[in-house]
Structures are given as C-alpha cells and as structure tokens.
C-alpha cells in the first residue's frame, strides 16, 4: 500500500471546492472562548471566509466583538454573512478593492502559491499590523522523523517558481507561501500549520465518514488496529485559536493539531459508537490484506496514515500552541456536532459520502476477510 500523501493532497485541495456546494447550516455554539468579548476591538480582513474554516473563523471573531471584512470572488456561498462588508476581487492580480484601506489584521485562509501570497502581503504591509497565514503540517519534508516540530526542516522544490499543485509540490509551496508573507512583513506574520481539520461544514468528508458510518451500525471495517495514531483539530478550535492569536499578536510558527498520543483509531471509533448509540462492531483488518484488496489508507479509510510507512505520523508536537492558548474540545463534541450538521444536509448530498468506502465495497472486503481462512 503506497502512502506518498497523494490521497492527502487530493482530499485537502478538494475540500475547498466541495465546501462551496455544501449546505451552510447554522453553526453550532462555539467553545467558551468565543462567549467572552475581547477587551480590544480589532478590524480584521479575511481573505476568503466563505468555506469551512472561513465561516467558523468569522463567527469566532464576531463573537469576540471584532469587526470583519471579507475579500473574495463572491462565488462561494455569496449570501453568507449578509451584514458584513464584502470586497470583491481575485487573489491573482485583482486586488484593487483592498487598496487604500487599513485593518488591524488579516487572515489568509486561501493561499497556495507564493507569488499570489506575496502580492497580497506586499500590498497590505503598510495597511495592516498583523498577517496570519493558514499553512499546513504538510510543509515538513520528512514524515519519517518522529516528533516533528516548528524547528523541523520543511520540504523544498528543485524549481521554486513552479505553481502547479501536485502531491509533491503542495507542502513545499505552502512553505514558500509562509516565507513570502514573512519576507513582506518581517516580525509581523503568524504562520499556523494545522493538520486534518474536522467538524461541521467540512465538504471533504475526510473525518465525517467515521461518525456517519458508525452511526449506521453493523460490522465496520477498521484499519490495522485500534492503537493506530490519529491527529486532528476541530475547525472551531482552530478558529478560536486564530482569533486568540490575533488578539495576542502571536508571530512565528505554530503547529495546530491534537497532541501526539492523545487519540487513536480505536478511541475515535469507540467515541463515534458511544455518541451515536449505534450497534456497530469493529473488525480490524491488517494492512497487508487491505493492500491486497486495493483498500487505500486516508481515502478509503479516512484519518488513517500507516505509521509503518511514515513513522512521524501522529507525533507532531504542539507544545507551543498549547502554551499560547490553544484549547481543544472533547472528541465526543466534535462527533456529535458533525452528525447533527450532517442531518441538516439534503439527501442527494448525504447519499454519497465524498471519502471512505461505499457500503457495497466495504461489505465485499469484509466478506473476503472472513473467508480467508475457510
């Protein structure tokens, strides 16, 4: 079974486009942080703001009493946040709507190419005090290294001018985006590196597959063993941390994901069963059999990246983020709210999960597993 993070890339990049077609039901109540008003009202510009992380971040900022302006193309969920100021343009050269305006901070949720990030950062550097770029843990160059942290080396490209986003270029391009922002605003940029972002509004179903599948009940195909490591972050916890970081003027680098050793596949599935109250049972199938039956990690069985192929998976360090105020809600809350959100979606959406095995395919693999020793 090959795991070069190609599936990771595909689903990560697809998430933004898919979220545009996802029903934006009312967002669940945030964590306790968002119930308190900030002592200082910030004027925040959000580049993007209408897909998955964006809406949750805007909601968190508004709950804290901040003023938010959105800048995007006006194509994804254009009716969202009708009371906010919305500036229309395009990251790739159509930034006129931003000229001559001042904000306290900018959150860049939609940068993938360093040239484009450089344009917005350079245009805004004399008009904002603080630039927050949403990066990814995929910037790290060697996932065989256990305990990757903010000082670990990032991936590089033979040609740093390439702009095609592929499995090989995605992480290094994000690292170059970080550098582009930092070069434009030295000492004023906060690069945040989340892992797998999960929860309500996720259009990729990379996490949603498990709560939905377990809630359906019956025999569930599970990968390798219950001790396999998982690291995720609830989108609302990431949003709260972003807003808190703006208020604290955090700069530099922060990984943002659940701590290593905190969550396993077994705990994830057991929590899904407890929250949903289903009669699900779990059949843990070994990696060799899965490979023989063309069942892929991450795409067919989401959240799972085999540690035997990349030893550093599940060991990303987040000490810095935790010490600077990142708070993570219980997994049971994430599972419950994801299921509640899923129930609000139209049937044509819920009839076809965008990640994970289809029911017939899962049953076929389980039947083959049980028949192997007969």
With respect to residue 207, please indicate whether it lies within any of the assigned structural domains: yes
Task: Give residue 248's pLDDT.
Answer: 97
Given a cut of 70, whether residue 328 has pLDDT beyond it is yes
pLDDT in tens, 271-287: 999 999 999 999 999 99
Residue 186 is part of which domain span?
6-369
DSSP secondary structure, 282-341, as one string:
EEEE-HHHHHHTTPPBTTTBTT---TTT-TTTT----HHHHHTT-----HHHHHHHHHHH
With respect to residue 1, please indicate whether it lies within any of the assigned structural domains: no
Work out how many domains the chain is built from and give that number: 1
With respect to residue 293, please indicate whether it lies within any of the assigned structural domains: yes
With respect to residue 374, please indicate whether it lies within any of the assigned structural domains: no
Contact 155, 141 (CB under 8 A): yes
With respect to residue 199, please indicate whether it lies within any of the assigned structural domains: yes
At which residue do the structure tokens 């434009």 appear? 184
- Residue 74's CB is within 10 A of a number of other CB atoms, namely 14
Given a cut of 60, whether residue 238 has pLDDT beyond it is yes
CATH of the domain at 216: 3.40.50.720
With respect to residue 319, please indicate whether it lies within any of the assigned structural domains: yes
Contact 203, 54 (CB under 8 A): no
Q: Mean of the pLDDT values across residues 203-209?
A: 97
Give how far Cα 362 sits from Cα of 227, 254, 297, Å.
21, 38, 14
| pTM score | 0.91
Given a cut of 80, whether residue 14 has pLDDT beyond it is no
With respect to residue 45, please indicate whether it lies within any of the assigned structural domains: yes
Mean pLDDT of the chain: 91
């Amino acid at each position: 079974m090959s795991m070069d993070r190609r599936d990771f890339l595909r689903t990560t990049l697809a998430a933004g486009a898919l979220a545009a077609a996802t029903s934006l039901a009312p967002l669940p109540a945030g964590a306790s942080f968002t119930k308190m008003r900030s002592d200082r009202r910030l004027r925040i510009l959000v580049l993007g703001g209408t897909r998955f992380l964006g809406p949750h971040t805007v909601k968190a900022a508004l709950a804290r009493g901040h003023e938010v302006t959105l800048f995007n193309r006006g194509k994804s969920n254009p009716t969202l946040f009708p009371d906010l100021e919305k500036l229309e343009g395009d990251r790739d050269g159509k930034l006129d709507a931003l000229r001559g305006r001042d904000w306290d901070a900018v959150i860049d949720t939609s940068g993938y190419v360093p040239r484009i990030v450089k344009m917005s950062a350079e245009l805004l550097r004399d008009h904002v005090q603080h630039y927050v770029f949403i990066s990814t843990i995929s910037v790290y160059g060697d996932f065989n290294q256990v305990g990757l942290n903010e000082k670990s080396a990032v991936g590089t490209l033979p040609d740093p001018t390439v702009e095609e986003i592929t499995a090989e270029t995605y992480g290094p391009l994000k690292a170059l985006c970080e550098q582009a922002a930092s070069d434009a605003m030295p000492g004023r940029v906060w690069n945040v590196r989340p892992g797998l972002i999960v929860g309500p509004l996720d259009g990729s179903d990379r996490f949603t597959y498990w709560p939905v599948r377990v809630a359906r009940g019956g025999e569930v195909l599970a990968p390798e063993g219950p001790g396999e490591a998982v690291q995720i972050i609830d989108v609302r916890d990431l949003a709260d941390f972003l807003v808190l970081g703006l208020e604290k003027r955090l700069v530099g680098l922060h990984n943002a994901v659940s701590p290593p050793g905190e969550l396993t596949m077994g705990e994830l599935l057991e929590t899904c069963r407890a929250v949903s109250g289903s009669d699900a049972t779990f059949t843990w199938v070994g990696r060799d059999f899965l490979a023989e039956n063309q069942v892929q990690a991450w795409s067919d069985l989401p959240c799972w990246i085999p540690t035997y192929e990349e030893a550093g998976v599940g060991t990303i360090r987040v000490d810095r983020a935790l010490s600077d105020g990142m708070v993570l809600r219980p997994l049971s809350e994430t599972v419950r709210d994801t299921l509640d959100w899923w129930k609000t979606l139209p049937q044509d959406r819920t009839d076809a999960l965008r990640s994970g095995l289809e029911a017939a395919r899962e049953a076929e693999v389980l039947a083959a597993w049980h028949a192997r020793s007969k």
